Amino acid sequence: MFTHLYYSLSPITRVSAVDGRTLNLVSSSILSLFSLKTWSQATIGNPHSHHGYAMAVVGNALSHVDVLRGVCGDGSEANRDEYVLVLEDDIDSFSPDFAADMASTVARIERDQTWDVILLGTFSESVDLYNDRRAYDEPGVEFLKRVNHEAKSRTFGGGSHAYLVRRKGACKLLKLAEEVSTA
């Protein structure tokens, strides 16, 4: 289906996730990607708590950064409109007619030269926009609430479990993430 896969010149590439529990959160490679200017809790296990971060969240972010680096490659101008499909390992289900839906989507997006990222699945937890799934209605949500100490919902949701990213988009995101290291 996808004729524009780019990652490492291989049609399918499995990227090992970063285990946040094993990270040295004060390593230079992490400090260069995360804002720690307001880090006042360095002695606590999670220096990113100011941002609501958990170590698994940092690991997840680093996993995607690795993917983006692979997609961006050397950052050259060649093939910057090519794109890859990124799927996390917790994909649960696809739309009932996924093949046709995906083919239709690809046909449409290839006429649009402006996009960098297309989120194939998102969820929202406080407002039901566009029939987004309410994660707080899902089984197991109590676990999430306990972990985060409050039931405050994450307004307007998100989701990185499935997205298309263009090479140029990956390079832009990396630049945003890495710029602060020199700031």
Does residue 84 bind another protein (CB under 8 A)? no
Does residue 160 bind another protein (CB under 8 A)? yes
Three-state SS letters, 16-85: CCCCHHHCCCCCHHHHCCCCCCCCCCCCCCCCCHHHCCCHHHHHHHHHHHHHHHHHHCCCCCCCCCCEEE
Query: Please, which residue, 15 or 144, has the CB nearer to another protein?
Result: 144
Angle CA 162–139–157, to nearest 5? 40
CB of 176 vs another protein, minimal distance in Å = 5
Does residue 110 bind another protein (CB under 8 A)? no
User: x/- contact string, 128-147, with another protein (CB under 8 A)?
Assistant: -xxxxx-x--xxxx-xx--x
Does residue 125 bind another protein (CB under 8 A)? yes
**CA separation for the pair 161, 147 (Å, rounded):** 21
User: x/- contact string, 14-53, with another protein (CB under 8 A)?
Assistant: ------xx-----------xxx-------------xxxxx
Total binding residues toward another protein, as defined by CB under 8 A: 86
Which of the 8 DSSP states describes residue 158? Answer: B
**CA separation for the pair 162, 119 (Å, rounded):** 6
Please report, as a single letter, which amino acid is at residue 41: Q
Neighbouring CB atoms inside 10 A of 41's CB total 12
> Within 13 Å and on the Cβ side, how many CA atoms surround 69?
10
Please report, as a single letter, which amino acid is at residue 167: R
Query: Please, which residue, 82 or 88, has the CB nearer to another protein?
Result: 88
CB of 78 vs another protein, minimal distance in Å = 19
Site for another protein in 54-83 (CB under 8 A): 54-57, 59-61, 64-65
Per CB under 8 A, the list member of 73, 80, 82, 159 interacting with another protein is 159
Does residue 122 bind another protein (CB under 8 A)? yes
Per CB under 8 A, the list member of 12, 29, 79, 119 interacting with another protein is 119
